[in-house]
């Protein structure tokens, strides 16, 4: 019985190869092999489907900071399986510093430099307290001065990155 492309059900079987990558012994990067088991795929479309699967997955891993700049993705395709082997994949992406614009300084602080209710409400919506007001950074944003909150966002884990990618 043949099924249409829209009816093809697929299960992702993610396996992390525990093989040393071409990196120094202390490096955290490893090789990654991902296989997607599917129902019968059309033989004429195998190369295109394999390349599309590998390309999308690889670009997603690079965008999330999980694949190194010199990583290489090798696509594989058979009628019942799509796979990609990626070199230089980290278990967790590096933490990223983020500067979030809160609001214009003229709205956030009154003439005496005291936080306004608008700023306090914005901080509360971010899960912050009024005690962080002295840590806020003032910087020009276009023509007006604005307040920014600097924080560090934890890097994505490989599991989270693969869930987004697949």
pLDDT digits (tens, 9 = 90+) for 89-134: 999 988 989 888 999 988 888 888 889 999 999 999 988 888 888 8
Torsion of CA 44, 48, 54, 60, to 10 degrees: -140
User: What's the pLDDT at 8?
Assistant: 33
Domain ranges of the chain: 5-91, 96-153
User: What's the pLDDT at 3?
Assistant: 37
Confidence band, pLDDT 50/70/90 cuts, at residue 25? very low
Name residue, tokens 């306004």. 116
pLDDT digits (tens, 9 = 90+) for 72-83: 999 999 999 999
pTM: 0.63
Q: Residue 106 is inside which H or E element, if any?
A: helix 105-108
CB contact at 8 A, 101 and 112? no
């Amino acid at each position: 019985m043949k099924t249409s492309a829209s009816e093809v059900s697929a299960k992702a079987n993610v396996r992390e190869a525990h093989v040393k990558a071409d990196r120094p012994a202390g490096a955290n990067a490893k090789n990654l092999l991902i296989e997607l088991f599917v129902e019968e795929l059309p033989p004429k479309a195998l190369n295109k489907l394999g390349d599309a699967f590998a390309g999308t997955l690889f670009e997603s891993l690079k965008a999330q900071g999980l694949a190194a700049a010199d990583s290489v993705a090798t696509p594989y395709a058979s009628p019942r399986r799509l796979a990609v082997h990626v070199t230089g994949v980290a278990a967790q992406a590096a933490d990223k510093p983020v500067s979030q614009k809160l609001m214009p300084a003229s709205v956030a602080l009154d003439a005496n430099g005291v936080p306004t209710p608008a700023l306090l409400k914005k901080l509360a919506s971010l899960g912050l307290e009024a005690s962080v007001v002295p840590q806020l950074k003032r910087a020009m944003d276009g023509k007006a001065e604005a307040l920014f909150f600097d924080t560090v966002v934890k890097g994505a884990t490989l599991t989270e990155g693969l869930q987004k990618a697949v």
